[in-house]
Amino acid sequence: MSLESPITWWVLAGVLVAAELASGTFYLLMLALGCAAGALAAHLGLSPSLQMTAAALVGIGATMLWHFKRLRAPRAGPVESNRDVNLDVGEHVHVDAWAANGEALVNYRGSTWQASFRGDGKPQPGEHVVAAVHSNRLVLERKLT
């Protein structure tokens, strides 16, 4: 098969899509878009050099756009305090008493957890919010009223 055949471009696009499914990188889909542009150029009867130019421009352009879009996207927070990963973050906990070292034992989800305080000042008993989870320890902040 030569590059003059659109089938070559479509097969190459299919191979890139399959490679993306196996690897999980979205950039291969952008290159597959470039191959689709090459296939469309072949359907229009353009020369192989124009087909490659169309494939390169679309593939590289789409890859660059995706890369810059990802650079501008906000980064996810640390896993231990990210609500998307840990559903305990943001939940309310009642603290009966704090130890002198800023730690407490709290009842949460049917069991007793160790908790530590994060924030300004001395920790006070009362309602708190889970700010993070470090291993089996809750990190609590004062509940804002």
Percentage of the residues of the chain whose pLDDT score is greater than 70: 94
Residue 24 in this model has a pLDDT that exceeds 80: yes
- Encode pLDDT of 51-91 as tens digits: 999 999 999 999 999 999 988 888 766 767 777 777 888 88
Residue 145's CB: how many other CB atoms inside 10 A?
5
32 closest CA partner among 7, 70, 58, 52: 58
In this predicted structure, which of 3-12, 28-37, 73-82 has the lowest mean pLDDT? Answer: 73-82
Tokens of 48: 């192989």
Q: Give the per-residue pLDDT at 87.
A: 81
- Encode pLDDT of 111-134 as tens digits: 999 999 988 888 889 999 998 888
Tokens of 112: 């007793």
Burial degree of 128 (CB within 10 A; 0-12, 13-18, 19+) = buried
The structure's pTM equals 0.55
Q: Give the per-residue pLDDT at 2.
A: 59
Residue 48 in this model has a pLDDT that exceeds 70: yes
CA distance 91 to 35: 49
